[in-house]
Amino acid sequence: MRPIQATISLSALEHNLAVAKSKAPKSKVMAVVKANGYGHGLLNAAKGLKLADGFAILGLDEALTLRSAGYKQTILMLEGFFSADELPAISEHAISIVVHSHKQVEMLESANLTAPISIHLKMNTGMNRLGFKPQDFEAVLARVKTCQNVADITLMEHFATADESLGIAKPLAVFKQATQAHQNPQSLANSAALLRFPEAHADWVRAGIMLYGTSPIAEDSAAKFNLKPVMQFTSEIISVQTLEAGESLGYGHRFTATQKMRIGVVACGYADGYPRHAPNSTPIAVAGKLTQILGRVSMDMLFVDITAIPEAEIGTAVEMWGKNVSVDDVAQAAGTISYELLCAVAPRVPLKAIA
């Protein structure tokens, strides 16, 4: 069997949830487990985050999977429902939905349901992705309050720059101005706002990437916030090559040796979710020691420099990210974000949950 796998630490998930709760002690924590638990496995993530007050997912299938697994918490569909056909199951299984469009309101008003549905009514405060404009929000809120298919209403926004220098002051002020006459519960903060802006904690916080042990803020490390890495993405060396000065590696000869070197060939490539565009010098660990990748990442293999790791041979353990190598550092080297790397771990990579 190919040696690659991703090991998921349930205790690290529990720890990171505790960090979120400690940062926002007066708020309920909505654990975001969309995208197959950010690549960690939906049920793995839910198991490690079982003490969360709620789960946020994308589609109805994920919501029903959580309900079938016995989770009784609030389950929120972050993009709401996509067709009226979904509403009976949403109602039957007590799933909450984000409502962000007039079309959704119309479908709610026309549905014949056995029980009303709790909603999160979303305001567009500047991201211009989903939600009602502030000037339209009052009228929409009044409308859903009279809808017989709507139960509890939480007011919601999503910050576009909580992780950047612009911060949240402007969109938060817009939201407060538009909702000041209403006492509904509110859900405002994503991971970055949860960590940086206590004034946005409100009734619910939506903790996402921080739960998986990576930092939502580029200039701050996960360790700064006492977050533990959850995924350890590992494989092994399957071949060892010796390069002489002037010899090159892999497709396109993207690396040429200037001196004699030992190179390990690792059973991991872009078909496993490792970024093809990762450049020479992207950090990686061999036998627990930091080194670098070299050359172009192939579909099933990549190259590592083991010149200074004489004990490295065929079968030696390699960590792409996890305990020794931060996924944030790999993402930075590859010009992307940790979210993309974690979510991109391929289905062919076995996920192993450990305590």
Q: Does residue 228 have an active-site annotation?
A: no
Closest CA to 302 of 325, 284, 314, 327: 284
Task: Give the burial class of 254: count Cβ atoms within 10 A of its Cβ; 0-12 exposed, 13-18 middle, 19 or more buried.
Answer: middle
Of the candidates 34, 38, 122, 339, the residue annotated as catalytic is 34
Sign of CA dihedral 338, 342, 343, 345: positive
Q: Does residue 251 have an active-site annotation?
A: yes
Residue type at position 175: F
Closest CA to 90 of 131, 149, 178: 149
Of the candidates 103, 133, 224, 251, the residue annotated as catalytic is 251
- Whats the size of the chain, residue-wise? 355
φ, ψ (nearest 5 deg) of residue 286: -125, 125
Angle at 342 between CA 336 and CA 344, to 5 degrees: 80
Q: H/E/C letters for each residue in 133-183?
A: CHHHHHHHHHHHHCCCCEEEEEEECCCCCCCCCCCCHHHHHHHHHHHCCCC
Residues tagged active-site: 34, 251
